[in-house]
């Protein structure tokens, strides 16, 4: 269906990318050079700001990512989540313009879930995300923010005292009064009994104080989730964030989903590209996967490229296809990355995924299916 809008074109922006719908005589330009401005529509073209002209044209409504319910929280998360670790310069420097542009474009395309941590970039990710969210100029209720506690640049500390101080520090960096989700970060590196008996009760007090809305836990080994959830009162933990366990090479999270659903726990899955394994470029040198797993993923990526397919897009769509997972979290730091991830999600919902190629890739990866790597300390 075609919708008719009264629009303006901004003379400083490429016309093919800058068609802006008028609302109540105002418009906001989403390009970086106009970020965070709400400009009165001029009565004449002699505006000191820019030259505009109006027209009646037909444009299609912008395709946005779908929203999914997160367990029993009542929150509806965008199926694609914005992983903000790259905003902490974890993968190279990111300018303020790039950061603001990527967050603005993500929000414009329906992404409402933003995840960060004080660990990412030594608190820089939280600071930059806070700045970019403020630049959106939208009501706080329109986006969902998750941050973490317990893991810091200086090491791990899951004590009640540290996590209680941690949220105040995070709120200041994020320029927020509360976060929607506070997660214990990579709990396999702490004592799980401390997480159960000290950390989570401290987070419950923060919840009662209105500083956080929901409690989560994160980590790599799937067994940590059942250990904690079996030892806390029902409804205490609202969210789990698992990573590298729901993609073409490793879908072991799937076996845990019925259990998590029975507990009323929402699920976020991160690293759909297995921390770089499922890319044409390949993983970073420090990647902890075995040589066998790296080699198999490299072969799968080459197979896709030879056939004009992109293994990263296939992996993203594979991860998005399970609707028991509320959001697939992927790191982003540019408008291009946002556009690619949103396009993959929209294509999946409208056309579907490439079942044949995915099946062929799964066959290549079968010898290493669900192979993972050690993470954390030995739990007694």
Q: Which residues are catalytic?
A: 120
Q: Rounded to an integer, what is the distance from CA 208 to the centroid of its chain?
A: 26
The Cα 253–Cα 322 span in angstroms is: 11
According to DSSP, the residues that pair with 329 across neighbouring strands are 81, 270
Q: How far is CA 329 from CA 14, 57, 113, in A?
A: 31, 36, 9
The Cα 31–Cα 125 span in angstroms is: 22
130: left (phi over 0), alpha (psi -120 to 50) or beta: alpha
Of 188, 106, 113, nearest to 146 by C-alpha is: 113
Handedness of CA 324, 329, 335, 337 (dihedral sign): negative
Placement of tokens 């845990």 in the chain: 256
Rounded to whole angstroms, the maximal C-alpha distance in the chain is 74
Q: How far is CA 211 from CA 72, 166, 281, in A?
A: 19, 11, 41
Burial class of residue 336 in the structure, from the number of CB atoms within 10 Å of its CB (0-12 exposed, 13-18 middle, 19+ buried): exposed
């Amino acid at each position: 269906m075609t919708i008719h809008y009264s629009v303006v074109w901004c003379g400083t922006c490429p016309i093919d990318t800058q068609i802006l719908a008028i609302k109540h005589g105002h418009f906001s330009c989403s390009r970086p050079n106009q970020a965070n401005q709400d400009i009165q529509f001029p009565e004449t073209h002699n505006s000191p700001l820019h030259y505009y002209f109006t027209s009646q044209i037909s444009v299609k409504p912008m395709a946005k990512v779908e929203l999914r319910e997160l367990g029993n929280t009542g929150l509806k998360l965008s199926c694609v989540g914005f992983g903000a670790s790259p905003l902490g310069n974890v993968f190279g420097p990111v300018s303020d313009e790039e950061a603001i542009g990527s967050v603005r474009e993500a929000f414009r395309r329906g992404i409402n879930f933003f995840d960060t941590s004080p660990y990412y970039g030594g608190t820089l990710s939280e600071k930059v995300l806070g700045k970019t969210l403020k630049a959106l100029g939208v009501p706080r209720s329109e986006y969902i923010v998750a941050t973490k506690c317990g893991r810091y640049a200086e090491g791990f500390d899951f004590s009640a005292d540290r996590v209680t101080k941690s949220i105040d520090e995070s709120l200041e960096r994020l320029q927020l009064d509360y976060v929607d989700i506070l997660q214990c970060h990579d709990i396999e590196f702490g004592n799980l009994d401390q997480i159960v008996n000290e950390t989570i009760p401290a987070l419950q007090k923060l919840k009662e104080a209105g500083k956080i809305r929901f409690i989560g836990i994160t980590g790599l080994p799937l067994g940590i989730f059942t250990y904690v959830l079996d030892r806390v009162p029902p409804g205490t933990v609202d969210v789990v964030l698992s990573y590298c366990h729901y993609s073409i090479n490793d879908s072991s999270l799937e076996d845990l989903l019925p259990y998590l659903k029975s507990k009323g726990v929402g699920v976020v899955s991160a690293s759909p590209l297995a921390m770089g394994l499922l890319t044409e470029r390949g993983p970073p040198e420090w990647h902890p996967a075995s040589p066998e797993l790296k080699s198999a993923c490299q072969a799968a990526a080459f197979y896709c490229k030879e056939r004009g397919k992109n293994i990263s897009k296939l992996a993203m769509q594979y991860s998005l296809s399970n609707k028991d997972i509320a959001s697939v979290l992927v790191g982003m730091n540019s408008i291009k990355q946002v556009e690619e991830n949103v396009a993959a999600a929209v294509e999946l919902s409208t056309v579907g995924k490439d079942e044949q190629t995915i099946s062929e890739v799964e066959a290549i990866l079968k010898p290493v299916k669900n192979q993972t790597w050690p993470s954390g300390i030995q739990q007694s």
